[in-house]
Amino acid sequence: MILVTGGAGYIGSHTCIELLNNNFDVLVVDSLDNSSPEALKRVEEITGKSLTFIEGDVRDATLMASLFKDYPINAVIHFAGLKAVGESVAEPLMYYNNNLISTLILCEAMKNASIKNLVFSSSATVYGDPQTLPLTEDMPLSATNPYGRSKLIIEEMLRDLPAADALANGDNNWQVALLRYFNPVGAHPSGKIGEDPSDIPNNLMPFITQTAVGRRKQLAVFGDDYDTIDGTGVRDYIHVVDLAKGHVKAVEKLLSAEGIDGVQAYNLGTGNGVSVLQMVNSFAKENSIEVPYQIVERRPGDVAACYADVTRAQKELNWQAELGLKEMVQDSWNWQSQNPRGYR
């Protein structure tokens, strides 16, 4: 059984589908702070399989200990956490409290239960302002905001676990995959589950879809004077279904005889850079719908371009993204147009 923390969220719900489709039993723990139980109902509808859901906070040590006692868990995927960069600047303590303490409590419960197979949701934000592209996993790491710093601190904390284990037991049993996501977009092709931000979206794709559906007047394009193909920011967008499949590959690797040697980071992206205007134009063309936009000032803290070298994930996880820009924009719109107000 796979314990999925934050499994009711955007990436978590898509990952539950892929886990169930690959015959894993799934146990979700989620506080529903930023998600709806409806997402998990729809996961069951889509797959025709059931999962176990416990509503609760990963920072609750008693709850976490009981899960490892009551269920035959053999690996954990840890999605639970807060993820809005701007909010993290305004509320750093809330971000450190949730992201750091949840991971700490989870790892203590794992250690006590001797279940040491972990897949952690990291982010391309740990590369800071990239000096060279594409980004490989061994490039220098830095953070430009409290959200990114929380991911960086967690990565470092996790890197300390194998050595401590070896010291205590003469051998290390921790296997940790740090999955550094680039920019997740898209939705399940059924249109039943997708990204449902509770506030005004910070990210590009939900802003585009909410504009297209009439919830926002127009998209603000943050800067057209970057040194990129058309002056707008370039990112490595990855379809959330591909990303979800990457988690299944990581879990399979952890549970295989070969395993992972201690802690290993993997970039999950497509390796392709796409500009804001390329994304907007592709969305408009493939869905035959206008997306009004206006060029405005750069957003503070944004980098010009960021995209992945995905060789390590290809070689070691036997994973690569299969879906392109067309599926990303079509599936995002399929979800938003069928669910104009998300799960509400």
Q: Give how far Cα 299 sits from Cα of 201, 228, 246, Å.
A: 14, 16, 30
Stretch that binds ligand NAD, among 77-85, 231-239, 304-312, 315-323 (CB under 6 A): 77-85
Which one among 103, 117, 123, 228 touches ligand NAD, defined by CB under 6 A?
123
Going by their DSSP bridges, the two strands 237-239 and 183-185 should be labelled as parallel
71 binds, among ligand NAD, ligand UDP, none (CB under 5 to 8 A by kind): none
| Contacted by 204, from ligand NAD, ligand UDP, none: CB < 5 to 8 Å by type | ligand UDP
Cβ-based nearer residue to ligand UDP, 56 or 197: 197
Among 149, 148, 155, 78, which Cα is nearest to 109's?
78
Q: How far is the CB of 184 from ligand NAD (least distance, A)?
A: 5
Q: Which is nearer to ligand UDP, 3 or 238 (CB)?
A: 238
Judged by CB under 6 A, the chain residues 155 through 194 that form the site for ligand NAD are 181, 184
Q: Write the binding mask 36 to 75 for ligand NAD: x where contact by CB under 6 A, - elsewhere.
A: ---------------------xxx----------------
Nearer to ligand NAD, 79 or 207 (CB): 79
Q: Which residues in this chain contact ligand UDP in the complex, by CB under 6 A?
A: 183, 202-204, 207, 219-222, 233, 235, 276, 299, 302
Nearer to ligand UDP, 31 or 125 (CB): 125
The 3-class SS string of the chain reads: CEEEECCCCHHHHHHHHHHHHCCCCEEEEECCCCCCHHHHHHHHHHHCCCCEEEECCCCCHHHHHHHHHHCCCCEEEECCCCCCHHHHHHCHHHHHHHHHHHHHHHHHHHHHHCCCEEEEEEEHHHECCCCCCCECCCCCCECCCHHHHHHHHHHHHHHCHHHHHHHHHCCCCCEEEEEEECEEECCCCCCCCCCCCCCCCCCHHHHHHHHHCCCCCCEEEECCCCCCCCCCCEECEEEHHHHHHHHHHHHHHHHCCCCCCEEEEEEECCCCCEEHHHHHHHHHHHHCCCCCEEEECCCCCCCCEECECCHHHHHHHCCCCCCCHHHHHHHHHHHHHHCCCCCC
Complex with ligand UDP: residue 162 or 269, whichever CB lies closer: 269
Cβ atoms 184, 11 nearer than 8 A:
yes
Beta bridge partners of 275: 234
Q: Which does 40 bind (CB under 5 to 8 A by kind): ligand NAD, ligand UDP, none?
A: none
Determine the interface stretch with ligand NAD among 28-36, 44-52, 159-167, 218-226 (rule: CB under 6 A): 28-36
Q: Does 83 bind ligand NAD (CB under 6 A)?
A: yes
Question: Is 147 annotated as catalytic?
Answer: yes
Among 10, 95, 147, 226, the one annotated catalytic? 147
To ligand NAD, the closest distance from the beta carbon of 258 in angstroms equals 26
Among 19, 34, 141, 328, binds ligand NAD (CB under 6 A): 34
Out of ligand NAD, ligand UDP, none, which partner does residue 121 contact, by CB within 5 to 8 A per kind?
A: ligand NAD
Q: Which is nearer to ligand NAD, 29 or 260 (CB)?
A: 29
Known catalytic residues are 147
Name the residues that contact ligand NAD, by CB under 6 A: 5-6, 8-12, 29-35, 57-59, 79-81, 83, 98, 102, 121, 123, 181, 184
